[in-house]
Structure formats: C-alpha cells, structure tokens
Amino acid sequence: MAHLRQLLPFAVLVLAHACSPVSPVSLSRAPSLTPTPTPPHTSASVSAPEELSVTSPAYQVFAVVAQDAVEVIVRAGPGIDFLEVARLKAGEGAPVVGRTPQSDWWKLDLGGTRAWVYAAFVNIVGNPALVPIVPTPTIAPP
C-alpha cells in the first residue's frame, strides 16, 4: 500500500500532462490541478479525437526511478557498454516508448532524446504490455 502512495503523485502528474510529450519530471512537488470552466454549448461541429497509440504524444506508460536509487544512468542502448546519455534522480520519470524482448531494458523519451534505462532501477506506471518491443542498437567492435 505504501508503494501505491508513492506513485499516486506521479499518476496525477501523468494524467495532468497526458496531451503533450513529457520531459523528465520530478515528484518533489505535486502539480496544481485547477479546474477549468466548461465552455457554453455551441452549434459548431466537433471532430472526433484522434486515436492514441504508445508512439503518440499522449504516452500511456512511464518509468519512474525507484525511491531507493540515488541516481540512474540512462544509456544510448540497452547495456552497460553503451555511452551515458543522461542521469535521472530518484522520483524522476519519463515516458516509455519501447522495450527489449526480455523487458529488462526500457527505452525512454527524454524530451525528444531516446535513451535506455535498466528495468530493475525503475517502477513502471501504466500497462507495460502496451509498450512495443523495439529494435536495439548494437555496439561496433573496436
């Protein structure tokens, strides 16, 4: 139950930002959710919303760095031999856009930069079955 309470602020943040790509976020402060007034009904035609997918801007699955991790290295590929691209601190998260066939590495979208994080260091928010298996880069021999 305590684990769910830790993820609740992030779940609120995910819902609040579901219509735009998300850069790494910090859970140290809760988002402000101010209701917006409903516009009056008009006779103008309304088009149906576009269908969403994992690759659309409204991501459905997020990886959040575990609270017991001080800092996690995010790499150019799924493995420790790949170059470091960024670092995420405990509580920070990013949208998941892909995974390895074994689901041991998650491919993240860090505000347009795609990078990989080891699955054991993050908690997944959302349904991981929605994340597609994506091709993984290889390291050229020296």
Q: Is residue 32 part of a domain?
A: no
Report the number of distinct structural domains present in the chain: 1
Q: What is the 3-state secondary structure (H, E, C) of the chain?
A: CHHHHHHHHHHHHHHHCCCCCCCCECCCCCCCCCCCCCCCCCCCCCCCCCCCCCCCCCCCCEEEECCCCCEEEEECCCCCCCCEEEEEECCCEEEEEEECCCCCEEEEEECCEEEEEEHHHEEEECCHHHCCECCCCCCCCC
Quote the pLDDT of residue 59.
Answer: 65
Within a domain: 135:
no
Residue 3: Cβ within 10 Å count: 9
125 strand-pairing partners? 62
Residues 57-82 as b or e (16 or more Cβ within 10 Å = b): ebbbbbbbbeeebeebbbbbbbbeeb
Distance CA 44, CA 25 (A): 37
Q: What is the pLDDT along the chain (142 residues), one digit of tens a residue?
A: 444 344 444 443 343 343 334 445 444 443 434 444 444 443 333 333 333 344 444 468 999 999 998 899 999 999 999 999 999 999 999 999 999 999 999 999 999 999 999 999 999 999 999 999 999 988 876 6
Who contacts 78 (Cβ-Cβ below 8 Å, separation ≥6)? 100, 104, 105, 107, 116, 136
Give the pLDDT score at 60.
Answer: 87
Q: Is residue 17 part of a domain?
A: yes
112 falls within a domain: yes
> Considering the domain boundaries, does residue 139 fall inside one?
no
The boundaries of the domain holding residue 66 are 2-27+58-130
Does residue 48 lie in a domain region? no
Instruction: Report the CATH number that the domain containing residue 93 is assigned in CATH.
Output: 2.30.30.40
Q: What is the pLDDT of residue 19?
A: 37
Does a structural domain hold residue 19? Answer: yes
In a domain, 141, yes or no: no
pTM: 0.60
